């Protein structure tokens, strides 16, 4: 009898210990990430779920080629994970930053974490310079990455915008930034309807700005069209419709075109490239300078879409004389472009010249002295030279944060008018 009681006691003790271990494992599984990751495959099997793929079965991101870089931004935009191309054996990377100590990466590794500091988005940027260090030899410069981090408080105080954790975007970058897929579209074409630019709205714009109704040339040639574009830009300047700043800029799309134009003319709404492009389109179509079939919006992106990283972008137009080819017209910079033989260039042609390293063939055609009107005391606008000094058309370094570096990924947007 005594032996039987002892046996039962041992069984109960073992059961108690086992149940406590199961309870402890459950608590650790739910609360400790490392334990959760280790036990998750077992739990899947117990549930009858198919087993997880092995590491070799998980698809990898495309391998980086020379002079490419892949960027990943942390959720709070305070850190950047930078992936560089793999180096040959025994060669390592060395990274020097604008602040802090240099970073030595072990041979064979190509990732590093970069803590970003806040600061004025123009005057205090994050900077990383990348070197390669062969064994028993000096460091060799590879490239540079500059990142602007606009803090949440700076965005609120100086730009009048509310955005969680601010935002970050690239400055100078001598590497080509690539996305998760090597098959990302470089050229995209789509169509949109200018739904708010109704016939009644176009009539209101003509009544408010009768000068835009011309008369305009029939544009038998690209040269005659460029002459009228030049005249139209000068007209926008005289009408006070080039309020080039970032103040309250989203408001231009929160009302009707005629009311938005009133805001721009009064200085209460600022426009940069995209907003000024819309101002030009609304007026040019309403006044008869351009037929909607002979003008299209063009979005230029310097980088692929990266989560939480604002892409360097620019907004221009392409226009064409009747029956002629499309060519770039930049309403903000007030320029068109030809090659050395005088042929007007499309956005795609400029992109190809950039890829071929032949930017010196591009000839910018000025369409008037740069004009800014009604600029309030606002971020960039009050600084010496103003926002517009970032456009240096003579800078042809293909990897720099210059004008031409935006011609990397292009979206063409064909326009239509609503049928009232």
**pLDDT tens digit sequence for 94-140:** 999 999 899 999 888 899 999 998 865 556 789 999 999 998 888 99
pLDDT at 142 over 80: yes
The residue among 178 and 228 whose pLDDT is bigger is 228
- 418 dihedral zone (left: phi>0; alpha: psi -120 to 50; beta): beta
Q: What is the pLDDT of residue 50?
A: 40
The residue among 407 and 247 whose pLDDT is bigger is 407
pLDDT at 58 over 50: no
CA pair distance 16, 137, nearest whole angstrom? 64
User: In degrees, to the nearest 5, what angle opens at C-alpha 352 toward C-alphas 348 and 353?
Assistant: 115
Residues 102, 96: contact at Cβ < 8 Å?
yes
pLDDT band at 279 (very low <50, low <70, confident <90, very high): very high
- 215 backbone dihedrals φ, ψ, rounded to 5°: -75, 150
Instruction: Read off the tokens for 159.
Output: 């730009």
pLDDT at 316 over 70: yes
pLDDT tens, residue by residue, 338-385: 999 999 999 999 999 998 889 999 999 999 988 888 765 544 444 544
Q: What is the pLDDT of residue 170?
A: 87
Q: What is the pLDDT of residue 32?
A: 45
176: part of which helix (H) or strand (E)? strand 176-177
How far lies 162's CA from each of 20, 150, 167, 265, in Å?
Answer: 50, 12, 11, 24
- Give Cβ neighbours of residue 226 (< 8 Å, ≥ 6 apart): 336, 344, 365, 367
Looking at every residue in the chain, the average pLDDT score rounds to 83
CA pair distance 18, 24, nearest whole angstrom? 10
Read off the pLDDT of each residue in 288-312 and give the average, rounded to a whole number.
91
- 274 backbone dihedrals φ, ψ, rounded to 5°: -70, -45
Q: What is the DSSP string of 371-402?
A: ---S--S-TTTTSTT-GGGG--TT---TTSSS
Query: In terms of C-beta density within 10 A (0-12 exposed, 13-18 middle, 19 or more buried), how is residue 384 classed?
Result: exposed
pLDDT at 37 over 50: no
Residues 81, 110: contact at Cβ < 8 Å?
no
Strand partners for 313: 301
Look at the block and give the residue holding tokens 């779920």: 49
Read off the pLDDT of each residue in 329-342 and give the average, rounded to a whole number.
96
The SS3 of residue 230 is: helix
Q: Structural domain boundaries of the chain?
A: 2-54, 68-177, 187-416
**Would you give the end-to-end CA distance of the chain in angstroms?**
99
Strand ranges inside 240-353, DSSP E: 295-301, 309-310, 313-319, 327-330, 335-338
Q: What is the pLDDT of residue 270?
A: 87
Compute CA 340 distance to the chain's CA centroid, rounded to the nearest angstrom.
30
CA pair distance 229, 217, nearest whole angstrom? 10
Which class in CATH covers the domain with range 68-177?
mainly beta
The residue among 55 and 387 whose pLDDT is bigger is 387
- Of 245, 290, 297, nearest in space to 268 by CA: 245
CA pair distance 187, 299, nearest whole angstrom? 10
Q: What is the pLDDT of residue 33?
A: 41
Instruction: Read off the tokens for 326.
Output: 């499309």
């Amino acid at each position: 009898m005594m032996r039987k009681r002892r046996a039962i006691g041992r069984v109960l003790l073992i059961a108690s210990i086992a149940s406590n271990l199961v309870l402890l494992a459950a608590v650790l599984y739910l609360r400790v990430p490392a334990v959760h990751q280790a036990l998750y495959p077992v739990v899947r099997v117990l549930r009858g779920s198919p087993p997880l793929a092995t590491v070799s079965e998980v698809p990898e991101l495309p391998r980086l080629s020379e002079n490419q870089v892949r960027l990943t931004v942390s959720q709070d935009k305070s850190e950047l994970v930078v992936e560089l191309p793999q180096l040959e054996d025994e060669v390592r990377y060395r990274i020097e930053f604008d602040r802090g100590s240099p970073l030595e990466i072990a041979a064979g590794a190509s990732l590093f974490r970069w803590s970003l500091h806040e600061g004025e988005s123009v005057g205090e940027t994050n900077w990383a310079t990348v070197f390669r260090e062969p064994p028993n030899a000096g460091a060799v410069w590879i490239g540079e990455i500059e990142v602007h981090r606009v803090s949440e408080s700076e965005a609120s105080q100086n730009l009048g915008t509310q955005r969680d954790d601010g935002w970050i975007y690239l400055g100078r970058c001598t590497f080509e930034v690539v996305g998760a897929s090597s098959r990302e579209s470089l050229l995209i074409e789509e169509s949109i309807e200018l739904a708010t630019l109704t016939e009644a709205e176009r009539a209101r714009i003509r009544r408010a700005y009768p000068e835009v109704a011309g008369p305009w040339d029939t544009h038998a040639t690209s040269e005659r069209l460029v002459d009228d574009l030049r005249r139209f830009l000068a007209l926008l300047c005289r009408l006070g419709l080039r309020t080039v700043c970032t103040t309250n800029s989203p408001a231009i799309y929160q009302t009707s075109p005629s009311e938005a134009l009133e805001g721009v003319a009064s200085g209460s709404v600022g426009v940069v490239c995209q907003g000024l492009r819309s101002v030009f389109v609304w007026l040019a179509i309403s006044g008869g300078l351009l037929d909607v079939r002979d003008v299209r919006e063009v979005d230029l992106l310097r980088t692929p879409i990266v989560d939480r990283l604002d892409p360097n972008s620019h907004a221009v137009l392409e226009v064409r004389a009747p029956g002629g080819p499309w060519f770039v017209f930049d309403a903000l910079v007030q320029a068109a472009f030809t090659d050395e033989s005088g042929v007007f260039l499309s956005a795609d042609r400029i992109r190809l010249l950039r890829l071929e390293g032949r930017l010196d063939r591009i000839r910018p055609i000025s369409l008037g002295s740069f004009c800014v009107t009604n600029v309030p005391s606002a971020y960039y606008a009050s600084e010496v030279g103003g926002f517009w000094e970032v456009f240096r058309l003579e800078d042809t370094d293909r990897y720099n944060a210059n004008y031409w570096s935006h011609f990397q990924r292009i979206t063409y947007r064909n326009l239509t008018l609503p049928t009232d």
